[in-house]
A and B are shown apart, each in its own frame.
Chain A
Amino acid sequence: MSEDPLRADPQRGRLSSRLLAHGQEPDPRFTLANERTFLAWIRTALAFLAGGVAVEAFAAEVFADPYRTVVSVLTISVGLLISVGAGMRWLNVERSMRLGHPLPMPLIIPVLSFASGVAMAVVIALVVLD
């Protein structure tokens, strides 16, 4: 089994030769499925980003000033976390598939569940207490 990626396939780009150096090319269907999963996470992150921006833009009458800023920054931060997690997970999954290892646990799923729960609790609290 050849372990030298450059010799195995001179067509590969520099970035993928460097970041995905080891193992063999996995089934192309899995590579594309991994890409789609990454994109779904990025859309989730973008939805949080848009939500945070919308809170700051639209909810001036609903939330008083300091709370609104906090909610907005927290929501955008969740989007940030998810997008970083999406990129890292894509890379880890791709590496595992190349080496034939089991796929890593999705750490961003608990992050997302926790963040959604907290966000709803905060909104309910702010609306009820207002």
Chain B
Amino acid sequence: MSPAAPLHADPGLQPERTVLSWGRTMMLFALVGAVFLRWLPHYGFWTVGLALSCAVVAGAIYATQRRRYTRQSRGIAAEQVEADVPAVLTTTVATVVLGLLGILAVLS
């Protein structure tokens, strides 16, 4: 049985590196969620909500990794990749909202 044909022939492995970069970001979201759980003794309500939000963001990144790799590999092969505006905007907004909620919790 022959191995599956590669989706792209880019020697710089651009899709792999980008997907791994998303993976690292996903882990950091999970880490931030875990650190938020340390607030449990002080602010119960906020903590659970914040940790859950982090888990949702991390889960969303995880769920889209495969599609992202396929899309970017095909794009590299076709010499055209559409900039992923929705993913970038969502990640930025998620980080900003988490920070704002964290500041609110500290000041409350």
Which A residues form the contact surface with B (CB < 8 A)? 9, 11-13, 15-16, 19-20, 25, 27-29, 31-36, 38-40, 42-43, 45-47, 49-50, 52-54, 56-58, 69, 72-73, 76-77, 79-80, 83-84, 86-87, 90-91, 94
Of A13, A27, A32, A77, which is within 8 A of B99 by CB? Answer: A77
Interface size of B by CB at 8 A reads 43
Sample of 27 A–B contacts (CB below 8 Å): A16-B85, A20-B83, A20-B85, A28-B72, A28-B79, A28-B80, A31-B81, A32-B14, A32-B81, A35-B21, A35-B84, A36-B21, A39-B22, A43-B24, A46-B31, A49-B95, A50-B35, A53-B35, A57-B39, A57-B42, A69-B106, A69-B107, A73-B103, A80-B99, A83-B95, A87-B88, A91-B88
Distance between Cα atoms of A41 and B59 in the complex (Å):
20
Distance between Cα atoms of A73 and B82 in the complex (Å):
37
The answer to whether B35 and A43 have CB atoms under 8 Å apart is no
Of A36, A56, A57, A73, which is within 8 A of B17 by CB? Answer: A36
A52: B residues at CB distance < 8 A: 102, 106
Known contacts A35-B21, A36-B21, A53-B38; decide if A15 and B31 are in contact (CB<8 Å).
Answer: no
A83: B residues at CB distance < 8 A: 92, 95-96, 99
Known contacts A52-B102, A56-B106, A76-B106; decide if A15 and B25 are in contact (CB<8 Å).
Answer: no
CB distance from A35 to the nearest CB of B (A): 6
CB distance from B64 to the nearest CB of A (A): 13
Of A45, A72, A73, A94, which is within 8 A of B95 by CB? Answer: A45
B107: A residues at CB distance < 8 A: 69, 73
